[in-house]
Amino acid sequence: MQFNKILVPVAGTKADEEAMELACTLAGAKNKGLIFAVHVIPVERSLPLDSEIESEIGRADSILAHTELLAQEQGCRIETDLLQAREVGPAIIDEAIEREVNLILIGVSYKKHFGQFSLGDVVPYVLKNAPCRVILYHQRKS
Amino acid sequence: MYIIVVGGGRVGYYLTKALLSEGHEVLMIEKNATVSKTIADELGSVCLHGDGCEAATLDGAGTARADMLIAVTGDDEDNLVACQVAKHKFNVPRTIARVRNPQHEAIFKKLGIDVTVSSTNIILEHIEHEVPSHPLMHLLTISDKGLEVVEIKIPAGSASVGKTIKELSLPPESILSLIIRKERKPIVPTSNTILKAEDQVVAVTPPESEDALRAALIGR
């Protein structure tokens, strides 16, 4: 199966790096596919959506720069984007629709909530609402 | 403009949709988790699950930066509390409350709610406009002064017909500002103006004197 437009949401975790490597493999080298790496900054409702949160923006820029470097090392075409939204899940879905991607690839690290493994809020939302195929890259429990 | 709508019933839902389509930033707060989820699925990240009467929920909703809070739940008490917390704790400049029981309107205004909307009164006003035989019509509410502009049609056979205005027992706070005669001629009334049958009298009155004004002019 060929994926020529892949959306990879990144949050700066180790799982993201491995997901990015997988995205490069799926996209194929030699400029076959295009990867869109996005980082979403959730903005509290006490602030306007377009407010500039310097600390978050600085962190997001370094995450995206690192992701871009990883893709370039693999010889992949990549575009990065920084989004601000009230909720992360809907922002990812909107981006997938707007860019007409045919795959969303998400790196998932092992998280526990009240002693139980949890996927959090974002992944279930994406799985439920995605307009395309979704691959979860689950990082091995350390 | 950032507008918070408390209550995700039909009124809240359609109000939110309309405000969004006008380009406002809108957040709806809904207490029922299922309703909240349904609305969020349809409208996106504009619905917050929580109790709009609680300060913690309103704080999380960013009420401190809201330009307006509109409470449209089905409970007058909830609407009052939501507006009061928004007004007094978060200094929201404009609060609007839906009122189901029209008798609550005066209390809401005394407690600092900027605007009250009573569906009962709105329907009544429409009936007054649509039914010509109705003797008293509300034309305008001057909410910040607590006054109403009303129109009263003097029916033939009324006790006030043929009397001068000074002979009538008008409530002291009410003023007759205009009389429109049958031949469409407007008159600014004086104390010696004699009322005629079919006169349309435009008066300014506080709502609590409305019944006394009606009784003085129509004699019922």
Contact A90 B64 (CB under 8 A): no
Q: How far is A27 from chain B (nearest CA, A)?
A: 31
Q: Is B48 on the interface with A (CB under 8 A)?
A: yes
Is the CB of residue A60 less than 8 Å from the CB of residue A41?
yes
List pLDDT tens digits, range B150-171. Answer: 988 888 888 888 889 998 889 9
Contact B203, B152 (CB under 8 A): yes
CB within 8 Å of B184: residues ≥ 6 apart: none
Residue B26 contacts A, CB cutoff 8 Å = no
CATH code: domain B2-122 is 3.40.50.720
Residues in Cβ contact with B40 at an 8 Å cutoff, skipping those fewer than 6 apart: B46, B47
List where CATH 3.30.70.1450 sits in chain B: 133-218
First vs last C-alpha separation in chain A: 31
CATH number of the domain at B133-218, please? 3.30.70.1450
Total residue count of chain B as it appears in this document: 220
Encoded tokens for A138 = 């689950």
Interface test with A, best of B4, B20, B45, B92 (most A CBs within 10 A): B45
**CATH 3.40.50.720 intervals, chain B:** 2-122
* Digit-coded pLDDT (tens) for A44-95: 998 998 888 888 899 999 999 999 999 888 888 899 999 999 999 999 999 9
Distance from CA of B58 to the nearest CA of A (A): 10
In this prediction, the residues of chain B whose per-residue pLDDT falls under 70 are 131-134, 220
Domain limits of chain A?
5-138
Determine the CATH number of domain A5-138.
3.40.50.620
Chain B residues lying within 8 Å of A84, measured CB to CB: none
Q: Which stretch of DSSP H or E encloses residue A68?
A: helix A54-73
Give the HSE-up count for residue A119: Cα atoms under 13 Å, Cβ half-sphere: 13
ipTM above 0.95, yes or no: no
Check the CA dihedral B85-B86-B91-B94 and report its sign. negative
d(CA B131, CA A98): 54
